[in-house]
Structure formats: C-alpha cells, structure tokens
Amino acid sequence: MIDVMTIELDQPRLERLSPSRAGDFKTCPQLFKFRAIDRIPEPTSIYQARGTTAHLALQRLFDRPATERTPDVLFDLFREAWTEVRGDEEFAELFDDVESERQWGLESMELLANYFSIEDPAQIEPMDRELDMLEDLDGITIRGILDRIDRDDDGKLIITDYKTGKAPPERFALPAFFALKIYALLIRRNTGETPKEVRLLYLNGPTMYRLAIDDRQLDAMDSQLRALWAAIERAMRTENYPTRPGRLCDWCSYQNICPAFTDEEPNAADS
C-alpha cells in the first residue's frame, strides 16, 4: 500500500510505502507508477483468489488447538474462507462455470496439502499472524502485513511468508527476500530485537527458502530503503519513472500501455 497526498502547487508527496511497492520500484519504476501512483486496477486472476484464500486458511489454522491442525481441517478452512472471499466484487465473476471453480478448488487443496510436507503446524505456536505493521523510520513510514512471526526453540524470532506462486530456482531466490528483510528491519525497530531468520514458504514446490539475518544486513537494508525512498520522491517530483524491460514483463498486467512496449517512450532511459 502506498498513500500519496497532494500538497501545495500540486506537488505529490509520499506518505507511506509498503514492502511490496518498494519492491516494485526497485524492479521497475514504471510498474510502481502504474500500481501505486496511477492505481490502475489489474485483472483479478484465479491465482490471486487462491493466494488470498489460502492465506486466510493458514492464518486460521493456528486458531485451532495443535492436535486439530490437520490437512482435513485446513481444507475445511479453505472452503469456509472461499465462501467469504468469493462474495467480494473482485472475485465474484472469476469462473465461467461451476466445473471450472470445482477444478480450481481441487488444485488448491493439492497445494495446501503440500504445506504439511514443509512444516508441522502442531509444533508451532505463532507469536503473531497477519501482523499489521506501521513503522516510522525517521520520516519514512512503512506499512505492511506480515504473515507470521514465531520464536524458535532457542527463543529467537523467525519471520515467515507464505507463497502460493511457484518457487523460483534457488539461485534466483535471493531477491524474493527483499520484502522480508524490510519486515525484519521493522521488527528490530519495533522490538529492539534482531530476528534470527526469514523464511519463504512456497506451497507450490513445495519448498522453504531460509535466510539468516544479522544486524549488518539490516543496517544495509535501512540505507537501501532510505535511498529507495529518495529515488521514489525524485521520480514523483520529476514525473520520470524509467521502464526496466525484463523477464517480469511477460507477467506484467500493464504491458499493453507500458512505454517500453508502445511508441511513446518518454522515460525510456533506465536509471
């Protein structure tokens, strides 16, 4: 989420930034503009519907006693969550017919079953789930929702993010930790405690990628975030959002209006 406020002389000013939108700017400033400044809606996909519903089900799994955290209970929670989610306007007309929705549900259950091969929820007592974080880093307000935070057997903090998309090959996994490192920084800021590890838990793999965290990394992230914030403010001031064509373009919802793919190329120079 990002909030943009108009002040005197129509000069836009950045109010808040989420780790996801920070990642967008880092990947492609033009993508950031489409999403966060212009707020052009993206078509809703069955994958987003699955992600939203699976997150709800996994969150609620930990409301149950440890002995009830079974695949069947998780499947029931998914069905219940979908009954709620499908009522939202954005998901209302996602499926052409009942059969395609049923097929989607079956594939979703297969994905959720994978969860139990990655970790045993009966052994975990989360400190927090869906933690809504709002932190001020000396003038930079960061807002985001953290999937789960636990303590390991040694009492150290572990941050976990669920992913329903396909796991990248391990050699390409590092950039995927960008948002989690921001969350680790916020946790340190908020509690004074440095998390020991961040984890990306990919149901579609299934696999878990882990990254050990230390103060040096978080200090570097702090500097990186400040530099990114300054770059975003500069882009907003000059209205210059360079395109960064790459592999992501194949999945970008805005390709048909992106200057990199049309004849207009006002911001073509990469920064």
Interface contacts to ligand SF4, rule CB under 6 A: 28, 30-31, 243-245, 248-249, 252, 254-255, 258, 260
Q: Which is nearer to ligand SF4, 189 or 244 (CB)?
A: 244
**Shortest Å distance, C-beta 254 to ligand SF4:** 5
Q: Which is nearer to ligand SF4, 48 or 207 (CB)?
A: 48
**What is the Cα–Cα distance from 93 to 218, expressed in whole angstroms?**
43
**Shortest Å distance, C-beta 269 to ligand SF4:** 13
**Shortest Å distance, C-beta 256 to ligand SF4:** 9
**What is the Cα–Cα distance from 2 to 196, expressed in whole angstroms?**
28
**Shortest Å distance, C-beta 28 to ligand SF4:** 3
**Shortest Å distance, C-beta 203 to ligand SF4:** 25
Sign, Cα dihedral of 221, 224, 229, 230: positive
Q: Which is nearer to ligand SF4, 47 or 117 (CB)?
A: 47
**Shortest Å distance, C-beta 161 to ligand SF4:** 22
